[in-house]
Amino acid sequence: MTDLFASLPEEERAFCDMLQRLSAARLAPLAAETDEAGQFVHAQLACLTDAGMMGANLPAPHGPGLSATALLRAVEIVAGACGSTASALTAHYLATDSLHLGGDAALQARFLPDAAEGRTLGAFALTERNAGSDPADMKTRATREGAGYRLKGSKCFISNGGFADFIVVYAVTDPAAGHRGISAFVLEKGTVGLVPGRVERTMGLRGGHVWELDFDAWVPEANRIGPEGSGFKTAMKVLDNGRVEVAAMCIGIAQAALDAATDWVKTRIIGGQPLAARQGIRWQLADMATDLRAARLLALEAARQRQAGQRFTEAASMAKLFASEMAHRVTDSALQLHGGYGYTRDFPLERLSRDCRIMRIYEGSSEIQRTIIAAHLLH
């Protein structure tokens, strides 16, 4: 497992070791209670702020300049302790990545320092009820009004949306231009006309709330991210990053499930012997571990390409596709190995199974990832 990260510089390995200890002590003990109560992960994000994780995706001068490989490991660690916390954290990354990849220096200077220090929380608003997989169907509009724009529309499934201090909103500025007519804007908390709607009642990640957002709000031109029409290009770059981070979340959750199953079969006595003495059980664990190693290697390759400044869209889609499908298989097998106990809330398996289910849907469903991969093959 961690031997795959042995090549990390000493400073980054020390950072990940610290984060592992903090996550075990401060995040994991709250995970079941957070899920049960459906409470947003405010306290957990505060812990990550103290650890320096809120800006870990950003290069200097706004962030610590953590390598893409170290970031992969760090997100994996957080997700293994609490999926809800990792979900809120990586949603924040989508917002700050939008500014880092698409914004000018002035806009970055206004928002990124506070976001990187955890003083503000970001959200990323792309999805709409009728425009999930294809942003070209987006109905939210941004029309010129004075020295800015009037944003009108609705978004759904927006992680952090109701608590965010700033929301990166994607909207159509030129309806005739298709993808090239999409622009991005920063909508600040308290803006007149920004109305958080209901919190969705989700199956898993119940501490990482997702919201409906409605707005009929004016934003100054200075809050536009990049030139008009550059929003789609920015969003696709952001989603490449996000898909590697989703892969990391899947790996962290699956590792937690495999660890729980391994401990269980060593100590669960049936017929006078531990379950681990049975060949069928051993083979099942071997398949789970192999699946998990393959997902890590795919994610590491995507992170390596990202770190090298290469185009990594295909690698990110492969990592996200395989890891999200793998997490389903591994958590389900781990639950099965626990028998009836795995189905109870006294053990973490049913929560891990619910938490990983969304991974095959968000940041582009498995079907969308297959479409992207096939397009690269046939190009």
> The tokens of 193 are what?
């006309």
> The tokens of 363 are what?
């940041």
Contacts of the segment 302-311: beta carbons below 8 A, 24+ positions apart? 302/243, 302/244, 302/247, 303/67, 303/68, 303/69, 303/71, 303/72, 303/244, 304/68, 304/69, 306/68, 306/240, 306/241, 306/244, 307/67, 307/68, 307/69
Instruction: Show the CA angle centred on residue 139, arms to residues 138 and 141, nearest 5°.
Output: 110
User: CB neighbours of 371 closer than 8 A, spacing ≥ 6?
Assistant: none
If one counts every other C-beta atom within 10 angstroms of the C-beta of residue 40, the result is 19
363: annotated active-site residue: yes
The number of residues making up the chain comes to 379
Choosing from 12, 76, 245, 363, the catalytic residue is 363
DSSP structure string for 73-108: HHHHHHHHH-HHHHHHHHHHHHHHHHHHHH--HHHH
* Catalytic annotation, residues: 363
